[in-house]
Amino acid sequence: MAGQLVIMGFFCLYVTILASEKRILMTDPAFVSQELTHMQSEFQELREKVGNQEQTISALQQTVSLLQQKVTIQQSVEKAWCTRDGEERSPTGNDTQLVYSGFAGGSHYTSPGGAANTLCMPPEPVWGTRKDQTARLAGHVYGAEYEDVGVFGMPDLKQDVPCAVCKNTAHSIVTMVPGRATCYPGWTTAFHGLLTSGYPTEKAASEFLCVDDHPQAVLGGGNTDDNGRVFFAVYSKCGSLPCPPYEDGKILSCSVCMM
């Protein structure tokens, strides 16, 4: 019992000494300055960590946003151009599959030597070994934009044109029929829409393409009016084109048909 009292007495004395030393240290300006410096250093480290984490979160958010855009584009284009539903559109069923969706492109509309064909540029390019080499003379590939607000149903002339490459396991022949919103009997309609081309007075060659009747725009595009490859609706012109059956100055339809 006496031993326990001695131990308890020693413990109380030790606590009293610690408290006394703490009071002495807290009144020591050098100690206080040292503690403040240490706290400021820790605070700065925390700020740097928070800043790094915010940058990481921002980068991840941008990545997620880009992935969401890609998925949205792929889903909308696949639905619009590769797997049309409904009796009016002659459903293609599960035989038509999306190979990839991307961005329509081609030569600039003012380039006399530009290529006439339109390309479907994939969203994930794979560069070759000559990527960084310099060519003294070279062509260019530009993105494409819709050039009419009312016909294509776009809010302005800045909307970029998406595209899709599809495959069909049940049909071996695919053709575009201009001037008809439906295919001939015996053919399956992949989709129908508007006949498009470049503008007649532009310098660059163009081609007639069938754009879906409910055209999509590239999600996230449409920030600037870049032109590049341009899509215009096509009107019928009477003369060598007989009227009737055609009518002068009317927007021509088209359909993509499979057999």
Residue range 139-159, pLDDT digits in tens? 888 888 888 878 888 888 888
pLDDT at 185: 92
**Average of pLDDT values for 67-79?**
53
Looking at the chain, the whole-number percentage of residues with pLDDT higher than 70 is 77
**Average of pLDDT values for 50-62?**
83
Contact 148, 233 (CB under 8 A): yes
Predicted confidence band of residue 78 (pLDDT cuts 50, 70, 90): very low
Give the angle subtended at the CA of 223 by the CAs of 217 and 224, to the nearest 5°.
110
Looking at the chain, the whole-number percentage of residues with pLDDT higher than 90 is 1
Query: DSSP string covering the chain, please?
Result: -HHHHHHHHHHHHHHHHHHHHHHHHHT-HHHHHHHHHHHHHHHHHHHHHHHHHHHHHHHHHHHHHHHHHHHHHHHHHIIIIIS--SGGG---GGGEEEEEEEEEEES-TT-TT--SS-EEE-SS----TTTT---SS----EEEEE--HHHHT-SSTTPBPEEEEEEESS-S-EEEEET-SSPPTT-EEEEEEEEEE--TTSSS----EEEESS----TT--SS---SEEEEE-B--BTTB-TTTS-TT-B-EEEEEE-
First to last CA, the chain: 106
Omega within 30 of 0 (cis) for the link into 123: no
Q: Which long-range contacts (CB under 8 A, 24 or more apart) does 202-205 make?
A: 202/109, 202/110, 202/230, 203/109, 203/110, 203/111, 203/112, 204/107, 204/108, 204/109, 204/110, 204/111, 204/112, 204/114, 205/107, 205/114, 205/115, 205/116
pLDDT at 26 over 60: no
**Alpha carbon of residue 131 to chain centroid:** 23
Residue range 91-149, pLDDT digits in tens? 345 577 778 888 888 888 888 888 888 888 888 888 888 888 888 888 888 888 888 87
pLDDT at 53: 86
pLDDT at 9 over 80: no
Contact 176, 249 (CB under 8 A): no
* Mean pLDDT estimate for the chain: 76
**Sequence spans of domains, the chain:** 58-125+140-258
Q: pTM of the full predicted structure?
A: 0.60
**CA nearest to 250, candidates 166, 181, 174, 157:** 181
